[in-house]
């Protein structure tokens, strides 16, 4: 019993790791304060769920979720190219509201507030990941791949261009870097992995509805990125583990679930405030949160 | 014809409600220069406080209203002193303050959920009455009160900003903080005052909305998105702009459902918000300032 519970937590941690290190790529490394990350996650979850419900194999769903989300990332990059700082944050937040409203209202496709039930568990090469332990293996491998790819990107020369855009976009333009194109790639790659996380989430929970993709869900992800420290992938992974595990003791104290839900949000919000107030660099931040 | 009038009326009511939220928000933005999303929680907390005093403890209505407005002002001051001014001391950018305000918004939404539960609450001051008819459009007496109160309140706010010493000092800080400080205006005090006044206006908004609609924990977030959109359309940091933008938004939403299913009402607001942020971030009445877009960079 306790084992199943721990496996469940470990799967959640893997999903949050993918989601937050991909946000770290655009936010920490490229300096794009993208509050619309939830929108990519939502897109990935819906694309994957809809394809899976129509009988497509899991790997198609997974890759399609990533690619469609990446396309959305590029679509978002065009209008927001010139925006910076809080304007960018707000425009991307607006984008996530639009995606949420579409998920809620395009009833013919998404069944609106009723959500999509019965999403099949992933199946690869004839092996069905119906067992949670097997699913954890899959989630861990995907989290590891995401980490390795993003790590590879940020230490590459391309990664240094990303960081130069974060630190001084004008200066990197002067060095003939095509900053818009680079920002596009960064946002697309970030959205790609958010889509992968969404696909994993949909096939793990086997049910999605728009309420899983609201402003409330942005708080833990933002908290992970800021607690982990901007531009630190390792810090982000530690923070993801902390954020998933921290509210769990509430369950054991025996609070009813109507208390645990809000209490969890209160913990996240307080933690975010405390970090902003007392340790804006997070666990392992490479740059000052200014 | 009566349909057009009804939509116009609904648009005006929605606009009046958004304007109440947006004007306080815009006032705070104009001096503080950051997006105070937790303004929505000031509205929600006020509405619930009214519910607590009036419906649970059976206070007299006007006493409750007075206490709620007082409470809202104190609530705003508390947020400023406990969080924002601490962050400002560290010279945190507007972006950090924005993240902090989103955290505050979620914090209070969850606290309301924890104490009052997820079910909707109603404040039964006025029995459901048959609406009055104006040229075929139906409007309830309460809705007339809402529109009139908001217009009176917004006019008072306008006079306050233009005529009183404090209002002038606020505009001075909003125009140029450093020069205002040279002239002996304490910007810290002005920041605090704008939180008090802006949040008190949010308190009035909370009362009126609490009477007109049901209370639910997420109301703060929903209203904030609308109020914020109204403020952006009109020109963020300009109180008259915020009011204009809010009425335009209310009308756009209500006329929009002529063409789209009514579920898309919210989506209309977000799309307008998105378009304005991208193409005209300074809004209709706002003046484009060099460096505004660079804020936080």
The answer to whether A265 contacts B95, with C-beta atoms less than 8 Å apart, is no
Q: Which chain A residues are within 8 Å of B295, Cβ to Cβ? A: 84-87
| Cα atoms in the Cβ-side hemisphere of radius 13 Å centred on B63 | 8
B296 domain-assigned? no
The answer to whether B103 contacts A269, with C-beta atoms less than 8 Å apart, is yes
Instruction: Check if A256 contacts B (Cβ < 8 Å).
Output: no
Nearest CB to B83; choose among A222, A263, A273: A273
A262 domain-assigned? no
A284 domain-assigned? no
Closest among B292, B175, B276, B194 to B234, alpha carbons compared = B276
The answer to whether A265 contacts B110, with C-beta atoms less than 8 Å apart, is yes
Q: How far is B295 from chain A (nearest CA, A)?
A: 6
In the prediction, which pLDDT does B114 show?
87
Question: Which residues are within 8 A (CB) of B29 and not within 5 positions of it... i.e. 6 or more apart?
Answer: B35, B36, B231, B236, B237
Nearest CB to A216; choose among B95, B106, B277: B106
Angle B54-B60-B64 from CA coordinates, rounded to 5° = 55
Q: Tokens 């029995």 — which residue?
A: B127
Tokens for B257, please give them: 């459902």
Instruction: Check if A259 contacts B (Cβ < 8 Å).
Output: yes
The answer to whether A91 contacts B271, with C-beta atoms less than 8 Å apart, is no
Q: Which chain B residues are within 8 Å of A114, Cβ to Cβ? A: none
Closest among A114, A88, A93, A94 to A103, alpha carbons compared = A114
Instruction: Identify the CATH number of the domain in which residue B7 sits.
Output: 1.10.3470
pLDDT tens digit string along A159-172? 888 888 887 878 78
Cα gap A194→A173, rounded to integer Å: 28
Angle A92-A93-A96 from CA coordinates, rounded to 5° = 90
A199 domain-assigned? yes
**Domain with A61 in it:** 2-213
pLDDT tens digit string along A9-59? 898 899 999 999 999 888 888 888 888 899 999 999 999 999 988 888 888
B286 domain-assigned? no
pLDDT one digit per residue (tens) for chain B, 297 residues: 577 888 888 888 888 889 888 988 888 888 888 888 889 999 999 999 998 888 888 888 888 889 999 999 999 999 998 888 888 888 778 788 888 998 999 999 889 988 888 888 887 766 666 667 766 677 787 888 888 888 888 888 888 888 888 888 888 888 888 888 888 888 888 888 889 999 999 999 999 888 888 888 888 888 888 888 888 888 877 888 888 889 999 998 888 877 777 767 777 887 888 788 777 777 777 665 544 443 433
Angle A35-A38-A39 from CA coordinates, rounded to 5° = 95
Nearest CB to A91; choose among B83, B95, B274: B274
Instruction: Check if A280 contacts B (Cβ < 8 Å).
Output: yes
Cα gap A4→A12, rounded to integer Å: 12
Nearest CB to A263; choose among B114, B117, B266: B114
B227 domain-assigned? yes
> Largest Cα–Cα distance in chain A?
60
Q: Which chain A residues are within 8 Å of B99, Cβ to Cβ? A: 222, 226, 272, 276
The answer to whether B92 contacts A79, with C-beta atoms less than 8 Å apart, is no
B255 domain-assigned? yes
The answer to whether B35 contacts A226, with C-beta atoms less than 8 Å apart, is no
Instruction: Check if A215 contacts B (Cβ < 8 Å).
Output: yes
B67 domain-assigned? yes
Q: Which chain A residues are within 8 Å of B41, Cβ to Cβ? A: none
Cα gap B255→A92, rounded to integer Å: 26
CB A276 within 8 A of CB B100: yes
Query: Structural domain tally of chain A?
Result: 1
CB B227 within 8 A of CB B246: yes
The answer to whether A273 contacts B104, with C-beta atoms less than 8 Å apart, is yes
Cα gap A136→B242, rounded to integer Å: 50
B297 domain-assigned? no
Q: How far is B179 from chain A (nearest CA, A)?
A: 24
Q: How far is B132 from chain A (nearest CA, A)?
A: 33
Q: How many CB pairs under 8 A join A and B?
A: 135
CB B135 within 8 A of CB B7: no
Mean pLDDT, range A3-9, rounded to an integer: 85
Q: Phi/psi of residue B164, each to 5°?
A: -80, 160
**Domain with B47 in it:** 2-279
The answer to whether A105 contacts B83, with C-beta atoms less than 8 Å apart, is no
Tokens for A127, please give them: 């092996």
Nearest CB to A266; choose among B87, B107, B264: B107
Query: Structural domain tally of chain B?
Result: 1
B188 domain-assigned? yes
Q: What's the whole-number average pLDDT of chain A?
A: 85
Q: Looking at per-residue confidence, does B157 or A179 come out higher?
A: B157
pLDDT at A205 over 50: yes
Cα gap B196→B198, rounded to integer Å: 6
Q: How far is B136 from chain A (nearest CA, A)?
A: 30
pTM, full prediction: 0.87
B125 domain-assigned? yes
Q: Which chain B residues are within 8 Å of A272, Cβ to Cβ? A: 99-100, 103
Closest among A186, A195, A185, A235 to A62, alpha carbons compared = A195
pLDDT tens digit string along A215-249? 888 888 988 988 888 888 888 899 899 888 888 88
């Amino acid at each position: 019993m306790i084992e199943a519970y721990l496996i469940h937590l470990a799967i959640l941690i893997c999903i949050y790791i993918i989601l937050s290190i991909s946000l770290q790529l655009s936010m920490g490394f490229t300096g794009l304060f993208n509050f619309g990350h939830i929108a990519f996650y939502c897109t990935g979850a819906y694309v994957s769920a809809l394809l899976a419900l129509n009988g497509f194999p899991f790997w198609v769903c997974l890759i399609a979720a990533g690619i469609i989300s990446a396309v959305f990332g590029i679509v978002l990059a065009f209008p927001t190219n010139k925006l910076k700082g809080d304007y960018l944050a707000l425009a991307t937040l607006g984008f996530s509201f639009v995606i949420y409203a579409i998920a809620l209202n395009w009833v013919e496709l998404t069944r609106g507030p009723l959500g999509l039930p019965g999403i099949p568990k992933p199946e690869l090469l004839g092996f069905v990941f119906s067992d949670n332990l097997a699913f954890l293996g899959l989630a861990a491998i995907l989290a590891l791949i995401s980490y390795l790819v993003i790590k590879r990107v940020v230490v590459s020369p391309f990664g240094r261009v990303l960081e130069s855009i974060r630190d001084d976009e004008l200066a990197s333009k002067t060095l003939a870097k095509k900053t818009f194109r680079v920002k596009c790639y960064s946002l697309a790659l970030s959205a790609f992995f958010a889509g992968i996380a969404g696909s994993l989430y949909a096939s793990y929970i086997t049910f999605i509805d728009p309420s899983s993709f609201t402003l409330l869900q942005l708080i833990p992800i933002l908290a992970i990125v800021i607690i982990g420290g901007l531009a630190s992938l390792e810090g982000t992974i530690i923070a993801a583990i902390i954020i998933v595990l921290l509210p769990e003791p509430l369950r054991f104290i025996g609070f009813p679930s109507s208390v645990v839900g809000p209490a969890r949000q209160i913990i996240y919000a307080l933690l975010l405030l405390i970090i902003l107030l007392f340790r804006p660099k997070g666990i392992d931040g490479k740059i000052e949160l200014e | 014809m009566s349909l057009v009038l009804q939509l116009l009326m609904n648009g005006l009511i929605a606009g009046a409600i958004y304007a109440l939220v947006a004007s306080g928000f815009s006032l705070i933005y104009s001096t503080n220069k950051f997006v105070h999303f937790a303004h929505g929680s000031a509205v929600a907390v006020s509405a619930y406080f009214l519910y607590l005093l009036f419906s649970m403890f059976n206070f007299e209505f006007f006493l409750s209203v007075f206490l709620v407005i007082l409470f809202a002002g104190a609530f705003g001051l508390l947020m400023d002193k406990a969080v924002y001014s601490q962050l400002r001391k560290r010279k945190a950018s507007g972006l950090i303050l924005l993240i902090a305000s989103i955290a505050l918004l979620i914090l209070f939404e969850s606290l309301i959920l924890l104490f009052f539960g997820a079910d909707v609450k109603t404040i039964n001051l006025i029995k459901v009455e048959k609406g009055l008819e104006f040229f075929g459009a139906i409007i309830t007496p309460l809705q007339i009160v809402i529109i009139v109160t908001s217009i009176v309140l917004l006019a008072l706010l306008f006079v306050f900003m233009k005529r009183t010493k404090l209002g002038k000092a606020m505009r001075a800080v909003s125009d140029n903080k450093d020069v205002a400080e040279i002239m002996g205006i304490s910007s810290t005090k002005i920041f605090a005052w704008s939180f008090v006044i802006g949040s008190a206006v949010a308190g009035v908004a909370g009362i009126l909305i609490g009477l007109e609609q049901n209370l639910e924990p997420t109301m703060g977030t929903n209203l904030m998105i609308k109020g914020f959109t109204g403020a952006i359309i009109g020109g963020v940091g300009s109180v008259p702009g915020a009011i204009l933008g809010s009425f335009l938004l209310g009308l756009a939403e209500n006329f929009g459902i002529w063409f789209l299913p009514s579920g898309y009402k919210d989506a209309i607001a977000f799309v307008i918000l998105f378009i304005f942020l991208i193409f005209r971030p300074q809004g209709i009445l706002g003046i484009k300032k060099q460096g505004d877009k660079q804020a936080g960079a």
